[in-house]
Structure 1
């Protein structure tokens, strides 16, 4: 986290190695998800990358069965796929700019669902018509079963 800036955790997942990926938003800029140790110990977190508003702002995320990160990109009409080394390998475009989240459909985990928002889109913008809609990409890969964490003991 940015020690001198207000920081918001936007989304979180675990990758195939059990490391926590957490998307954060510090004013400015937003960061591509950070990696943290699966032990829960406090340590310096490593930022995978930063993005400017011109590049689109990272929003929701999910991880597929191959360990690839899927990242919804606010303001750029995109969902991006990154390999386990966090190199971009694919971009899918949507007809509206604000892509807010992505997840694989349960229980098959074979289709990627995307949500969008109308916030900050002018009424005359062509992307406004489908803003707020959900979209499905049916054959992008295979999702992975989410880990369930026990409730803290009292």
Structure 2
């Protein structure tokens, strides 16, 4: 049954990853701007609201959906191959590890979001500029693994 839905699972996984990546790339950029906002000012309030909506409405559901549809795709591929042994490889381990790193980065950003919400951010904008590049670097590696190494 799950094999019959493979194309739908793949489409939903790709859409979830796109939404998740958009958030992982945009939230640190908002944090860069937030570092220069005056606490309690209009920009501070606007950025808090934008960050909250991005994290709660887009990023969290997209991350969960990306994981669910990704794991269902693994299951469908195992069903198609007739064995789970196909997933015991360096490429699959690498992809899983990189997606786990992106999930960890998501949680770091969620913790930093809480710091901005309560006015206790202690990182300079430079930290967020660096964090802003990490999801894309991980995504490059994940895509090459998924497209080239896992054919």
Q: TM-score w.r.t. structure 2 length? A: 0.22
Task: Give TM-score, length-normalised by structure 1.
Answer: 0.21
Which is richer in strand?
1
Structure ranking higher on relative contact order (CA contacts 8 Å, 6+ apart): 2
Q: Higher helix share goes to which structure?
A: 2
Q: Which has the larger radius of gyration?
A: 2
